[in-house]
């Protein structure tokens, strides 16, 4: 497993060791001991999975403390353009975004610490996206930054995105008061 730093402090790309042969492949998508040795000390308590068609945008989501979540995200089938925004007001990268393509072929995972908003755009039909969370879902603490916020200027890599009503109503970043 390789740990790759990103331009955003504490946000990490995980490149697992994949063993391939004529039968297919095998890899550890999570090993607590290895992750702890790499400095990722979150204890994950909930696994989530979604199925989305091409051009679906989900995000930018996060939960307020004390229900804030670190996430370990990956694609099981298909591909996404995964995006995070640093919401930690004391961070040198506050308000900056990072995007990466996660696919069933590249096996990459992204470790998203507490204090980031997260979202993704599906690049293929029938994409299966999976993620571990360090805190349980709490509806009262969920929040959304507007996916196409002009201040953030994120290129989601899709045309004519399909959005939920919740994601259409996200907050503008310039009016956002960070709880982190």
CATH of the domain at 74: 2.60.120.10
Predicted pLDDT at 134:
98
Query: What is the percent of the chain where pLDDT is above 90?
Result: 100
Predicted pLDDT at 37:
93
The boundaries of the domain holding residue 158 are: 2-175
Q: Is 27 a catalytic residue?
A: no
Predicted pLDDT at 168:
97
Q: Is 61 a catalytic residue?
A: yes
The number of distinct structural domains making up the chain is 1
Predicted pLDDT at 84:
98
User: How much is the average pLDDT of 66-89?
Assistant: 98
Under the banding of pLDDT at 50, 70 and 90, the label for residue 82 is: very high
Query: Would residue 180 count as lying in a domain?
Result: no
Rounded Cα gap, residues 96 and 98, in angstroms: 7
The catalytic position among 61, 81, 111, 118 is: 61
User: How much is the average pLDDT of 153-172?
Assistant: 96
Predicted pLDDT at 161:
97
Residue indicated by tokens 């400095």:
39
Residue 84 and residue 43 in contact, taking contact as beta carbons nearer than 8 Å: no
The catalytic position among 81, 111, 118, 131 is: 131
pLDDT tens, position by position, 18-64: 999 999 999 999 999 999 999 999 999 999 999 999 999 999 999 99
User: How much is the average pLDDT of 119-136?
Assistant: 98
Query: Would residue 122 count as lying in a domain?
Result: yes
pLDDT tens, position by position, 93-112: 999 999 999 999 999 999 99
């Amino acid at each position: 497993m390789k740990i790759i730093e990103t331009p955003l402090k504490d946000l990490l790309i995980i490149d697992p060791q994949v063993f391939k042969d004529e039968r297919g492949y095998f890899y550890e998508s999570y090993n607590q001991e290895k992750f702890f040795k790499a400095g990722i000390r979150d204890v994950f308590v909930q696994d989530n999975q979604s199925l989305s068609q091409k051009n679906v945008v989900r995000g930018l989501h996060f939960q307020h403390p004390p229900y804030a979540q670190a996430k370990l995200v990956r694609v099981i089938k298909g591909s996404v353009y995964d995006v995070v925004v640093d919401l930690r007001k004391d961070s040198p990268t506050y308000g900056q975004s990072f995007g990466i393509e996660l696919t069933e072929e590249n096996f990459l995972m992204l470790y998203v610490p507490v204090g980031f908003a997260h979202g993704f755009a599906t690049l293929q039909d029938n994409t299966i996206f999976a993620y571990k969370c360090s805190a349980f879902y709490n509806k009262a603490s969920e929040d959304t930054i507007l996916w196409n916020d002009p201040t953030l200027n994120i290129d989601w890599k899709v045309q004519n995105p399909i959005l939920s009503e919740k994601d259409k109503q996200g907050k503008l970043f310039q009016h956002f008061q960070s709880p982190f």
